[in-house]
């Protein structure tokens, strides 16, 4: 697998009605460091800021009846247009992709993440309630993405997952680029102690002897045989 290592950065614009959800995760660990090092720029936009309703409502009952409420087309269209206008003011041409999270979308995986890392700006639309007005998928978003065969209450967790999964392919995000599982593979790892006896147990949990041998060639062969 060939993964380009040239230096670049990506801006993620997340549109949501619950912006505070992102505070904790975005301010910890690798994501926080990547923002500090300007590898990524994550902006969270409150959809209610783009509502013209006096009460800042962004949802309404869907045509045809049925339970629940749906996110309206107008505030989403305004939010995306505002973000794209900011991008268009840049002196350089930037590749932008607008994504709507939907259970009907393309299944997200590592290949999708590698495709998206080629963009300069990713606009992520987080739905809620019974979903969003279908015109968002038809006219505003460039594509729909699903995180799997299950249903979540909104697109906020998918937005965080996509942000981290894509960011991992940016050189400098991880301590070493070779740390990518896509390069080194994924295999079992062990640490000290080499022999561990759980409390109230006589059984010993031991590290495979090959890893203690010091024979790096055999260790590499063992790891290749245990790749997930």
pLDDT in tens, 177-200: 554 555 556 788 899 999 999 988
The domain ranges of the chain are 10-177, 185-225
What is the biggest distance separating any 2 CA atoms in the chain, rounded to whole angstroms? 71
pLDDT the model gives residue 20? 96
The DSSP bridge partners found for residue 14 are 44, 124
Question: What pLDDT sits at residue 53?
Answer: 85
Q: Give this prediction's pTM.
A: 0.84
Per-residue pLDDT at 4 exceeds 60: no
> What integer is the mean pLDDT of 148-176?
92
- Give residue 38's pLDDT: 94
Q: Contact, 147 vs 14, CB < 8 A?
A: no
Determine the length of the chain: 228
- Share above pLDDT 70 across residues of the chain, in percent, rounded to a whole number: 90
Span 156-174, average pLDDT? 95
**pLDDT band, residue 227 (cuts 50/70/90):** low
Q: State the pLDDT at residue 175.
A: 66
Nearest by Cα to 77 from 120, 122, 19, 123: 123
Question: Any idea which architecture 10-177 has in CATH?
Answer: 3-Layer(aba) Sandwich (3.40)
Q: Which residues contact 47 (CB under 8 A, 6 or more apart)?
A: 15, 16, 17, 58, 71, 75, 76, 79
DSSP state, residue 226: T
Contacts of 109 (CB under 8 A, 6+ apart): none
- Write the pLDDT tens digit of every residue in 93-102: 889 999 999 9
Under a CB-based contact definition with an 8 Å cutoff, are residues 153 and 101 in contact?
Answer: no
Q: What is the spatial distance between Cα 103 and Cα 54, in angstroms, rounded to a whole number?
A: 31
pLDDT for 212: 94
Region of poorest pLDDT, from 6-10, 83-87, 145-149: 6-10
Contact 116, 139 (CB under 8 A): no
pLDDT at 107: 97
Read off the tokens for 225. 């045989």
| CA of residue 47 relative to chain centroid, distance | 19
- pLDDT for 228 equals 56
Q: Which residue has the higher pLDDT, 129 or 57?
A: 57
Tokens of 101: 């999270």
131 band by pLDDT with thresholds 50, 70 and 90: confident
Q: For position 89, what pLDDT does the model report?
A: 73
């Amino acid at each position: 697998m060939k993964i380009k290592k040239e230096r670049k950065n990506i801006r993620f614009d997340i549109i949501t009605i619950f912006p505070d959800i992102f505070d904790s995760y975005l301010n910890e660990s690798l994501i926080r460091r990547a923002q500090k090092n300007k590898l990524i720029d994550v902006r969270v936009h409150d959809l209610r800021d783009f509502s013209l309703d006096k009460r800042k409502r962004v949802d309404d009952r869907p045509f045809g009846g049925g339970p629940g409420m749906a996110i309206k087309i107008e505030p989403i269209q305004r939010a995306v247009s505002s973000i794209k206008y900011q991008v268009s003011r840049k002196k350089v041409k930037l590749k932008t992709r607008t994504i709507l999270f939907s259970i009907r979308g393309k299944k997200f995986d590592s290949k999708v993440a590698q495709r998206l890392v080629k963009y300069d700006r990713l606009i992520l639309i987080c739905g809620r309630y019974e979903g969003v007005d279908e015109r968002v998928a038809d006219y505003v978003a460039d594509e729909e993405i699903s995180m799997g065969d299950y249903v979540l209450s909104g697109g906020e967790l998918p937005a965080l997952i996509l942000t981290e999964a894509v960011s991992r392919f940016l050189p400098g995000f991880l301590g070493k680029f070779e740390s990518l599982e896509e390069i080194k593979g994924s295999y079992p790892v062990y640490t000290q102690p080499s022999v561990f006896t759980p409390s109230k147990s006589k059984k010993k949990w031991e590290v495979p002897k090959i890893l203690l041998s010091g024979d790096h060639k055999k260790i590499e062969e063992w790891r290749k045989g245990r790749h997930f």
